[in-house]
Structure formats: structure tokens, C-alpha cells
Amino acid sequence: MQPGRKVLVMGATGRLGVAVARALAHRGDRAILTARNGPRLEALSVELSRPELPAVPFVCADLLDDAAPEIIFDGIRRTVGKVDDVVIACGPFPRTPFETLRRDDLRQTLAVHAIAPLLLVHALAEDLASARGAVVALTDAGVTRPYTNHVAYLTAKGALQTGLRALAVELAPEVRVNMVSLGIVADPEADADPLRMHRLATRSPLGRFGTAEEVVHVVLALLDSTWATGEIWGVGR
Ligand SMILES: NC(=O)c1ccc[n+]([C@@H]2O[C@H](COP(=O)([O-])OP(=O)(O)OC[C@H]3O[C@@H](n4cnc5c(N)ncnc54)[C@H](OP(=O)(O)O)[C@@H]3O)[C@@H](O)[C@H]2O)c1
């Protein structure tokens, strides 16, 4: 791929989203940032902006809001006009113990991880097609090898995977849609139990958690993989 593409990064304030946005800027692509946290988006925009280029645009939107896909779409039209590619790196990792699982847990995780990203890709389909673009989404190894206390999250990631595979067919051959299925990069619950962290890390054949840079490497490779669609690339599993 030629550099200089306009790439929407969903979840741009997250551990992995920030790393993806930085890597895109570093190789000469133009990131468009979205997440909820305005000050963090603004700080990243300042960090990535270059004096000779327009400021890196950002759009604040809460994906729990039904209007979020439209808000992000309008933000893109207002700032960069169109996007060429999309990276989906958004959403929380809520602990939902099975005993207390509620309808809202499922509704909210499905909204953020699956419904909003799928509707946004749908809305951007013409942009992506005219740019011969790509969608790359981060998903979780737990979809095919589930773990406890995360039924809502894993259900939502499963919906995202199935939805994006269907979109890969709908949008072919102009747009490629691929996913990265991750083992653990950073374990949010690690501080609470270092032994658990060690146990989880050694469960992977490579014996450790991944780094954001290792995830970025795969995301960029899939953005550039012009002969792959509907694929799920497993790393760190
Ligand atoms: N890290 C891992 O080990 C791991 C493993 C497997 C899969 N993944 C997946 O990789 C992706 C990135 O993970 P990460 O570790 O970077 O997560 P993270 O640090 O928790 O970041 C999550 C991102 O999603 C945004 N977000 C959360 N709720 C949102 C909402 N309601 N509306 C809009 N944006 C929302 C957050 O930003 P705001 O708070 O600013 O909105 C943030 O930018 C996620 O999809 C995650 O499921 C991660």
C-alpha cells in the first residue's frame, strides 16, 4: 500500500488503539481518532500532528449511543471528507460473573463491540470501496477458547467476528475485512493477582503476554494484505 491513507482508528485512546494510531502516523498514514474521552483524544491529536499537515482530527462518541455511527460518520465528513481504511480496537473488557449476568451486560457489550462497529463500516462502505480499502478488527482468542466470567464480552466478540466475516463477503472484492484474534496483551486484572498473571502467561505456547508493538505489526500487515479477506489471524494464543 502507498502511504498517506486516511485510517479511522476506533478505540484510539486505548492501549492498543494509541499504538496503532502512532504507528500509522509514523509510516505516513493519516489517522482519524475516535473514542469517548475528549481530553485524551485531543492530547493524542496534538502528539501526532505535524506542522506541515492539518491537525490530526478526532471525534468523541460513546458507542452505547445509538447515534454514534452517524456522529462519527458526520465527523469524518466535516474533517477529512472520506476514509480509506478502518481499524476497530474499541470496547471494554467487563467482568460479568455468570451468577449475576444481566440483560444489560449483553446489550451493552454487543452495542459497543459489535453493533456500532458493524453499522459504522456499513455507513462507510462507499468510502472504503472507492479507496479499495481495508477493515481490521481486534478480537479475542476467547471466542473459540472461552474463559470464565466474561460471557457478555465473549458473546459480543463472537458477534463481531461473524458480522465482519459476513461483511467481507458483502463488500468483496473492493473492500477487505480481516481480524486479529489476540491472546493477552495486557491483563487488566493482573494487579489483583500476580500469580494468576503468571498462570495465564504460561498457558500460551510462547509463555508470555504480547506487546502492543506485536499487535500493531499484525494490524499493519493485514491493512496491507491485498489478497486476504474474511481471515482471522491468531496471535499469542
Ligand atoms: N489488551 C488485550 O489483552 C486484548 C486481548 C484480546 C482482545 N483485545 C481487544 O483489543 C481491543 C483493544 O484493547 P485494549 O487493551 O487497547 O483496550 P483498552 O485499553 O481498554 O481500550 C479500549 C478502547 O475502547 C474505547 N471504548 C470503551 N468503551 C467505549 C464506548 N462505550 N464508546 C466508545 N469507545 C469506547 C476506550 O476509550 P474511551 O474510554 O476514551 O472511550 C478505548 O479507546 C479491544 O477490542 C479488546 O477487546 C485486547
CATH code for the domain defined by 6-235: 3.40.50.720
pTM of the model: 0.97
The whole-number pLDDT of residue 176 equals 98
Answer yes or no: are the C-beta atoms of 32 and 59 closer than 8 Å. yes
Domain ranges of the chain: 6-235
The whole-number pLDDT of residue 187 equals 66
Query: Which among 90, 155, 200 is the best mutation to test ligand 1's pocket, defined by most ligand atoms within 8 Å of the CB?
Result: 90
Ligand 1 atom at minimal distance to the Cα of residue 215: 10
Strand order in the sheet with 134-140: 58-60, 30-35, 6-10, 85-88, 134-140, 176-182, 232-235
100 vs 130: CA distance, rounded Å: 46
The whole-number pLDDT of residue 195 equals 81
Which residues of the chain carry a pLDDT beneath 70?
187-191
The whole-number pLDDT of residue 200 equals 82
The whole-number pLDDT of residue 190 equals 64
The whole-number pLDDT of residue 220 equals 98
The whole-number pLDDT of residue 188 equals 62
Instruction: Write the pLDDT tens digit of every residue in 191-215.
Output: 677 787 788 888 888 999 999 999 9
Q: Whose CA is nearest to atom 22 of ligand 1?
A: 14
Ligand 1 atom at minimal distance to the Cα of residue 157: 47
52 CA distance to ligand 1 middle (Å): 31
165 vs 227: CA distance, rounded Å: 15
The whole-number pLDDT of residue 237 equals 85
The whole-number pLDDT of residue 1 equals 72
What size, in residues, is the chain?
237
